[in-house]
C-alpha cells in the first residue's frame, strides 16, 4: 500500500504539473489572442477614422491646411479667430463681403465696430464671436453661406432677437412721446 500511495502521489504530482503547464499554455494563448484582437480592433478603428476624415474633407466639412499655415497650426502658433482658415492676411472676402479677423479678441468683424452700441455680438459655435455693424446686415445676408449651419442658425436667431428688441424699444419710445404730448395738451388746454 505504501508503494501504491507513493505511485499515486507521484502520478498526482505529474498530473498537477501537466495541468499547470496546460493552464499556463492556455493562459498565454488567451493573452496572445486578446492582444491580437485588441490590435485588430485598434487597426480597424484607425481605418474607420481615416475613412471618416477623408469623407469629411471630400464633403467640405473640414478644412485642409497646407504649407506654412499647416506648420503654424501644428506648432500651435496659428492665430485664433473664427474662420481664420479662410483668411488671407487677416482678411476674408466672401461673395464680395469683407470680414476682418481680430486675432487678439478672437473675433470676426463685419463693418465698423468702433461704436459697440450699433453692433451685434454673436457668439459662434467653435468659440469666438462675430461682430456685425447693424448697417452691414445686408452684407451679412450675402455671406451667410460662408458659415457653418450651426453658426448660420445662431446668426439668424441673433438678428431676429435684435430686430424684435428694437421694435419693442421703438414702441416704448412712441408711447412715451404720445403720453408726453397728451400731458402738454392738457397743460395748454
pLDDT average, residue stretch 15-28:
54
113 and 171 belong to one structural domain:
yes
Any domain includes 182: yes
Residues 47 and 85 in one domain: no
Q: What total number of domains does the chain contain?
A: 2
| Residue 131 φ then ψ, to 5° | -105, 120
Query: Of 16, 37, 62, which closes a domain?
Result: 62
* Same domain flag for 97 and 181: yes
pLDDT of amino acid 184: 78
Judge whether 73 lies within some domain: no
- State whether 100 and 170 are in the same domain: yes
Residue 71 forms part of a structural domain: no
Whether 121 and 89 map to the same domain: the answer is yes
First vs last Cα of the chain: how many Å apart? 137
Q: Is residue 68 part of a domain?
A: no
| Dist CA 7 CA 61 (whole Å) | 76
Question: Average pLDDT in the 58-64 region?
Answer: 52
CA distance 23 to 7: 24
The band of 179, judged by pLDDT with boundaries at 50, 70 and 90, is: confident
Rounded to two decimals, what is the model's pTM?
0.55
Amino acid at each position: 500500500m505504501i508503494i501504491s500511495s507513493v505511485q499515486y502521489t507521484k502520478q498526482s504530482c505529474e498530473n498537477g504539473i501537466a495541468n499547470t503547464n496546460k493552464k499556463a499554455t492556455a493562459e498565454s494563448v488567451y493573452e496572445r489572442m486578446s492582444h491580437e484582437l485588441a490590435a485588430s480592433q485598434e487597426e480597424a478603428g484607425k481605418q474607420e477614422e481615416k475613412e471618416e476624415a477623408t469623407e469629411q474633407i471630400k464633403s467640405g466639412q473640414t478644412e485642409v491646411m497646407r504649407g506654412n499655415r499647416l506648420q503654424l497650426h501644428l506648432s500651435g502658433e496659428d492665430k485664433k479667430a473664427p474662420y481664420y482658415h479662410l483668411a488671407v492676411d487677416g482678411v476674408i472676402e466672401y461673395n464680395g463681403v469683407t470680414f476682418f479677423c481680430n486675432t487678439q479678441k478672437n473675433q470676426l468683424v463685419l463693418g465698423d465696430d468702433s461704436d459697440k452700441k450699433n453692433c451685434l455680438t454673436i457668439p459662434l459655435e467653435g468659440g469666438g464671436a462675430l461682430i456685425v455693424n447693424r448697417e452691414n446686415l445686408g452684407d451679412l445676408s450675402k455671406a451667410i453661406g460662408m458659415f457653418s449651419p450651426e453658426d448660420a442658425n445662431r446668426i439668424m436667431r441673433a438678428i431676429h432677437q435684435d430686430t424684435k428688441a428694437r421694435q419693442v424699444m421703438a414702441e416704448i419710445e412712441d408711447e412715451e412721446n404720445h403720453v408726453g404730448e397728451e400731458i402738454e395738451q392738457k397743460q395748454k388746454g
